[in-house]
Chain A
Amino acid sequence: MSEVPALVSGQSNSGGAPLARLPAQIGRAMLRNPILPILVVALPLFGLFVPFYATVANFQNLALASSILLLLAAGGAVVMISGNIDLSVEGTLVFTCMVAAWLMTEKHGGSGLLLHPALVIPLSIALGAGIGCINAFMVERMGVNSFIVTIGMLLALKGAAAIPTQASTIYGLPPSYSWVGYNSVLGLSWIVIIAFGVLFLLSIWLRNSVGGRHVYAVGGNRAAAVENGVSAYGTVTTAYAIAGGLAGLAGWLNAARLDSASASSVDGITFTVFAAMIIGGVSLTGGAGSLWGVLGGVILLSSIDNVLNLIAVNPLYVNFVRGAVILLAVVLIVLRQRLAARLGLQEPAA
């Protein structure tokens, strides 16, 4: 990944010419970013041995397939860094997307309101952020475990999204709503540009703003953050609102890509979202992780799906391979942590 944290001196930090230190620096970057060595090994292998993997058309396809996952995992990662879990993003995605489709379409299937996408798109992002605020209220103010709150929210939202349409798909979305799914710049779909642009801006905010710093502080030691006047409620609300808002955004992009809205269009993506975050090095206990790591996790998982598809593996094997990759990555992460500890390397500061 592009983020190579500034060297933090451990006892093992030796001097010497910059060029001579380069291998050591690369080694350390690899140790700090668990996903980096995996990608460095895996992607060239895919390119060498999998026909069509390393083609422009396939990369376009990969980027498009990664975009929705990336938005959900980036939002989920902000919540996880704050020390909480958000299992509800899949539910938020389909719920906001179905509400948006309902508001925009004709009476049979829709509301008949025929609202303009320029109004509906911001509305669905705001609705997602609002759902995030409800999650945060129950977690922080009512003191319910975030796992319980958001799994309940996931089920409730997925159910609510399916009821009005009797679980059928809504077609006939306005062309201006689906425009991003059919247009591109220099071969890059607008969906990809929006998703990666949002990731870029969010990672800058998370690393360099006071709000982002507080996300790390609350996740690192909630009591200490509160004792220093940081509002845990405000910070956790911000994190959940970001996750919900990005899910709302992802709902739009997903529906635009499919030119339809359905309550089951991303069934089971929750597991992939969590796999991407964990492989990407986001700490399950909070306080550590970066969005660039999450991007690495998304690239790896999307590539694996893509490769299995390209070499026409029986779809029944796909889940098995994914699971095996997640277990392997987790083992590598633990080994990396032990090795880094033995070498006296420190985790980069937030």
Chain B
Amino acid sequence: MIAPYLSARGITQRFGAVTALDDVALDIRPGEAVALMGGNGAGKSTLVSILSGLRQPEAGEILIDGRTAHLRDARDARAAGIETVYQNLALCPNLDAPGNLFLGREIARGTWPFRWLDRAAMERETRATLADLGVTIADLRATSRSYSGGQRQVLAFARAARARSKLLILDEPTAALGVEESANVVQTVRRLRVERGVAVLLITHNLEEMRLLADRAVILRRGRNAGNLLLASARDEDVVRHITGGAEAASAA
């Protein structure tokens, strides 16, 4: 058994009277793709924000490569090898494609506070990255405000994919994409897994996408672990049953 790259233990988070996450555990091994499934309010987004460093859990710990990690902000998570494609895509509408692709890790010369942007290098890299994904954005210098939904999603995905990450978190990664763009994303995710051993945590409502990208499903229900299924042997109905709580009812009966 390969040791998990990421191991979350006892993650608990309350918002006032609402318990968003209650003693949740999650293991992801290098090269493994896990689908995080659950209905609305199951706690998926909260868990994603914790693993991305945007939120610190009230209780529980996160181990990365077996060592306790303190993810205080997105920079910490990136430094730990975690890249996230957020559902909201996290693009600045007033920045162009290279500006968004390199947001928070700009290519620059000089030292703080005079780190000068190397626009040419960032534009070159952006062009190459998008070409790798088989995407063309006609005008890289246009602000992302003017991009189509698909272009925005591809840009957000490209940003995470080009980073040398160990864990790629994808929150509804193909929701706005056309058939061809979706296929490119799926292919790139597989390539990253096979060639670089990147682990993937996929958040989706789409069972077809789950099967395309993941080999295991971790199911959350009302903030608790409600199932852990190997997709090779589980049927869609099994996954749905765990999401809706039918499994609890069955075992209780």
- Is B174 part of the contact surface with A, judged by Cβ < 8 Å? no
Question: Bound complex: CA of A211 vs CA of B108, how far in Å?
Answer: 11
For B52, the chain A residues whose CB sits under 8 A away are 227
In residues 197-216 of chain B, which contact A (Cβ within 8 Å)?
A: none
- Is A287 part of the contact surface with B, judged by Cβ < 8 Å? yes
Question: Number of B residues whose C-beta is below 8 Å from A?
Answer: 38
- Asked if B92 and A225 sit within 8 Å, CB to CB, the answer is yes
- Asked if B145 and A347 sit within 8 Å, CB to CB, the answer is yes
For B88, the chain A residues whose CB sits under 8 A away are 223-224
For A217, the chain B residues whose CB sits under 8 A away are 92, 94-95, 99, 103
- Asked if B75 and A229 sit within 8 Å, CB to CB, the answer is yes
Question: Bound complex: CA of A209 vs CA of B106, how far in Å?
Answer: 10
- Asked if B94 and A210 sit within 8 Å, CB to CB, the answer is no
Interchain CB contact (< 8 A) of A213 among B99, B114, B142:
B99
For A205, the chain B residues whose CB sits under 8 A away are 113-114
Question: Bound complex: CA of A6 vs CA of B141, how far in Å?
Answer: 9
Question: Bound complex: CA of A350 vs CA of B103, how far in Å?
Answer: 12
Question: Bound complex: CA of A221 vs CA of B117, how far in Å?
Answer: 20
- Asked if A231 and B73 sit within 8 Å, CB to CB, the answer is yes
- Is A346 part of the contact surface with B, judged by Cβ < 8 Å? yes
- Asked if A229 and B94 sit within 8 Å, CB to CB, the answer is no
- Is A156 part of the contact surface with B, judged by Cβ < 8 Å? no
- Is A216 part of the contact surface with B, judged by Cβ < 8 Å? yes
Q: In chain A, what residue has the closest Cβ to B84?
A: A227
In the complex, how many angstroms separate the beta carbon of B253 from the nearest chain A beta carbon?
A: 43
For B105, the chain A residues whose CB sits under 8 A away are 228-229
For A220, the chain B residues whose CB sits under 8 A away are 92-95
- Asked if A8 and B103 sit within 8 Å, CB to CB, the answer is no
- Asked if A346 and B143 sit within 8 Å, CB to CB, the answer is yes
For B91, the chain A residues whose CB sits under 8 A away are 221, 224
- Asked if A210 and B108 sit within 8 Å, CB to CB, the answer is yes
For B94, the chain A residues whose CB sits under 8 A away are 216-217, 219-221, 287-288, 347, 349-350
- Asked if A210 and B142 sit within 8 Å, CB to CB, the answer is no
Most buried by B among A220, A226, A348: A220
- Asked if B143 and A225 sit within 8 Å, CB to CB, the answer is no
Interchain CB contact (< 8 A) of B115 among A6, A210, A216:
A210
Question: Bound complex: CA of A261 vs CA of B157, how far in Å?
Answer: 57
- Asked if A228 and B103 sit within 8 Å, CB to CB, the answer is yes
- Asked if B113 and A238 sit within 8 Å, CB to CB, the answer is yes
For B74, the chain A residues whose CB sits under 8 A away are 226-229
- Asked if A216 and B92 sit within 8 Å, CB to CB, the answer is yes
- Is A115 part of the contact surface with B, judged by Cβ < 8 Å? no
Q: In chain B, what residue has the closest Cβ to A210?
A: B115
Most buried by B among A208, A217, A229, A348: A229
Q: Given A216-B95, A223-B90, A349-B141, decide whether A228 and B116 contact each other with a Cβ distance below 8 A.
A: no
Q: Given A213-B117, A349-B96, decide whether A224 and B103 contact each other with a Cβ distance below 8 A.
A: yes
- Asked if B75 and A9 sit within 8 Å, CB to CB, the answer is no
For B139, the chain A residues whose CB sits under 8 A away are 8-9
Q: Identify 11 new A-B residue pairs, CB closer than 8 A, beyond the known A9-B139, A227-B54, A229-B74.
A: A8-B142, A209-B108, A209-B113, A209-B116, A210-B112, A211-B112, A213-B117, A216-B92, A221-B92, A221-B94, A227-B84
Instruction: Report the 4 A-B pairs with minimum CB-CB distance, sorted nearest first.
Output: A229-B75, A228-B104, A349-B96, A220-B94
Binding site for B on A (CB under 8 A): 6, 8-9, 205, 208-211, 213, 216-217, 219-221, 223-231, 238, 287-288, 346-350
